[in-house]
A and B are shown apart, each in its own frame.
Chain A
Amino acid sequence: GAGVSQSPSNKVTEKGKDVELRCDPISGHTALYWYRQSLGQGLEFLIYFQGNSAPDKSGLPSDRFSAERTGGSVSTLTIQRTQQEDSAVYLCASSSLAGANVLTFGAGSRLTVL
């Protein structure tokens, strides 16, 4: 596609439920990043993919968070047993190179945990 597409754009869930957030990167971009942005805050690094592998998972906040990428394209971020502190905007970005590279971001998925 022309840009990075994220879905859903908004998700409201109850505490304890699992959620899946999807990212469809720009075609041909090999690098994919997930970030979390809490209200009024900067971007918190979660995970990075190069192709289908994730060399850096250091930013995942807990074992309730996981992510996968298939076919070098679509990525899914899964949060199990959601907590209120998981409420944030989850941003996905993709890039064509693993070097000093420019990220193209999606519009984000806003997650609200009640």
Chain B
Amino acid sequence: EDQVTQSPEALRLQEGESSSLNCSYTVSGLRGLFWYRQDPGKGPEFLFTLYSAGEEKEKERLKATLTKKESFLHITAPKPEDSATYLCAVQASYSSASKIIFGSGTRLSIRP
């Protein structure tokens, strides 16, 4: 069964304190791994897609990396506006139905 596990559930950092969020996945053939950001009361907003092990994507203070079993979202020198829930999702290559499965997310809080 396809599965996505994110850790930690919650993370509180001081402004400027870098850290990483983890996404472990089990899927029979990966078509794509996605990172989304969700602010309270809103739908998730797309950040990155990663397709193969070794791939990296960057956007401002965020960098996503991918191995065969997990993905990391690295946050460098975060600011309070980076506070949000970060969701990881995977899409299996075998599935003609293109089902996309999400993890439960990491709630990130950045203190000024």
Contacts and interface: CB of A to CB of B under 8 A. Distances in A.
A associates with B: yes
B44 to A, nearest CB: 5
B43 A106 contact: yes
A2 interface: no
| Interface residues on chain A, size class | 20 to 34
B43 A107 contact: yes
Interface string B74-112: 000000000000010101000111111111110000000
A42 B43 contact: no
Contacts of B69: none
Contacts of A35: 102
A91 B100 CA distance: 13
Given A33-B100, A42-B103, A102 B51 contact: no
Given A31-B98, A55-B97, A105 B105 contact: no
Contacts of B46: 102-104
Contact of B100 (A4, A45, A50): A45
B96 A55 contact: yes
Interface of B: 6, 31-32, 34, 36, 41-46, 49, 51, 87, 89, 91, 95-105
Given A101-B32, A102-B49, 20 more contacts: A4-B43, A42-B6, A42-B102, A42-B103, A42-B105, A43-B102, A44-B102, A45-B101, A50-B97, A55-B97, A56-B95, A91-B43, A93-B43, A100-B49, A100-B51, A101-B91, A102-B34, A103-B44, A103-B46, A107-B42
7 contacts: A42-B105, A45-B100, A45-B101, A99-B31, A99-B32, A100-B51, A100-B91
